[in-house]
Amino acid sequence: MVSIFLAEDQQMLNSALAMLLDLEDDFSVVGTETDGQAALEKVITLKPDVAILDIEMPGLSGLEIAKQLRLMKLDIKIIILTTFARSKYFKDALAARVNGYLLKDSSSDSLTNAIKTIMNGDTVFDPKLVTSVLNTVDNPLTDREQEILAALKTCASTKELAQKFFLSEGTIRNYISSILSKTGTRSRLEAVNLAEKRNWI
């Protein structure tokens, strides 16, 4: 019996995945969590065979959990499950020596087959992610510039960005100027579109 722990910040998806995996005769979901810090503590306590981790969670990200588990040298297979086909996330996951990296739009069969493959000692990476890494131009943006650029999709004004990041409007304008310079674009929208096309955000 393969014991599985699920960490996903969307409760509904967490519950649905747990039910789907429990339908498999040789799988047993031993715990779920929506918060990253709580997930890490439970994984350390429960020591499941497989930990399925969402990347973006409150507390700790799935990648941060993966790094901690590897530092502790726990014999746990790690699968990253995410919405984001971003090359930076994928490269970070490889650096953390995860065993699998799948997109959330994968079928449930893909997930169950991936778990079985990983338990047999192989790795499973979504082909879309491998392609995105091979096709990605090196990202010139800092982590904070990427965060601000991603926020531009929902924050229309410099004032909104300043409030979101607890920075002055002048500092935000400096970041945006740097982003436009590094990306060779002339507007915020153009910078966002370019960054999304190249999987920088």
Question: Which fold does the domain 143-197 belong to in CATH?
Answer: Arc Repressor Mutant, subunit A (1.10.10)
What is the SS3 assignment for 37-72? HHHHHHHHHHCCCEEEEECCCCCCCHHHHHHHHHHC
Confidence check: pLDDT of 48 > 90: yes
Express as a percent the part of the chain with pLDDT over 70: 94
pLDDT tier, 109 (very low <50, low <70, confident <90, very high otherwise): confident
- Mean pLDDT over 187-193 rounds to 91
- List every span in the chain annotated with CATH 1.10.10.10: 143-197
Instruction: State the chain's mean pLDDT as an integer.
Output: 87
Structure token pair of residue 63: 């990648």
pLDDT of res. 135: 59
Instruction: Judge if pTM exceeds 0.75.
Output: no
Residue 23: per-residue pLDDT: 86
pLDDT digits (tens, 9 = 90+) for 56-105: 888 899 999 999 999 999 989 999 988 866 777 777 888 888 999 988 87
For residue 36, the model assigns a pLDDT of 92
Residues of each domain in the chain carrying CATH 3.40.50.2300 = 2-135
**Cβ neighbours around 62 below 10 Å, total:** 30
88 half-sphere exposure, CB direction, 13 A CA radius: 15
Mean pLDDT, range 35-47, rounded to an integer: 95
Q: What is the pLDDT of residues 143-160, one digit of tens each?
A: 899 999 999 888 778 999
Q: Which CATH class is domain 2-135?
A: alpha beta
Point out the least confidently predicted range of 34-38, 71-75, 194-198: 194-198
Residue 194 reports pLDDT greater than 70: yes
> Which whole number is the average pLDDT over 126-130?
74
